[in-house]
Structure 1
């Protein structure tokens, strides 16, 4: 069952984060952190992200809100980039960050919005918003 979750997790991880990102992470994996990489691939991607209860888009938005609320900015930017694969739009990300402002604090949401603008590019965001 573990190998099945690991394989399913790798497929979901590649679908969400993209082939290039996962290939870079794999190339950077050493004997020291290989157990951790297997753990997150099996646990996060193969057990949670692979479930049918929520779409990848929904999980993406939830993940962004949690990472912003916790201030995990490097992971946050990575998951903003992943929205190109999950289908979450800039407008939906903005709405999620409004929730972050209410439930986790304005400073966290403000910094998250700055990262979203830098990551997606303000021109693309404005175009999507009809500006």
Structure 2
């Protein structure tokens, strides 16, 4: 992945490439189809700045950014965006995809640094998504130590 130093229409187009890579075509198409005279400039702004200027940077890489974004969405109680990024992380390209265990680790860390209520809410959201995708495994209690 290489950084894209561009502006205007080029920055928007470059941002769309990154946005589609991370969130998938269906999500991006729905977002763009919902543009109005009221929110269109906002869609342009986030595509150019979040998706081009930030996600287009070469370091630290998409997988690390996914961990960062999930953590920040929990810390700021941005639960709709957390759900969106959980889905994107599970469905993303193999080199940046997160596993259910990866997401669980983010949530366990959030319990300590953001608070148990935040992690509890996040576990509820992630559990529903994992169930929807058929990725939820039955609980296996830890075995007794020898």
CA-to-partner distance for each residue in 1:63-83, whole Å, 9 max, x for gaps?
A: 111111111111111111101
Distance 1:56 1:5 in 2: 19
Is 2:65 the counterpart of 1:82?
no
2:46 to 23, 40, 61: 40
Q: Normalising by the residue count of structure 2, what TM-score does the alignment of the two structures yield?
A: 0.82
| RMSD of aligned alpha carbons | 1.7
Offset, 1:104:
0.9
Q: Normalising by the residue count of structure 1, what TM-score does the alignment of the two structures yield?
A: 0.90
Distance 1:4 1:89 in 2: 33
Structure-2 residue corresponding to 1:126: 137
Offset, 1:60:
1.0
Q: Is the 8 A contact 1:80 1:120 kept in 2?
A: no
Offset, 1:31:
1.5
Offset, 1:52:
0.9
Distance 1:9 1:126 in 2: 36
Q: Which segments of 5 or more consecutive residues in structure 1 lack a partner in the other structure? A: none
Distance 1:32 1:9 in 2: 21
Structure 1 runs, 4 residues or longer, greater than 3 Å off: none
Which protein is richer in helix relative to its size? 1
Q: Which segments of 5 or more consecutive residues in structure 2 lack a partner in the other structure? A: 1-5, 141-146
What is the aligned residue count? 128
Q: Is the 8 A contact 1:12 1:46 kept in 2?
A: yes
Structure-1 residue corresponding to 2:110: 100
Q: Is the 8 A contact 1:69 1:109 kept in 2?
A: no
Larger Rg belongs to: 2
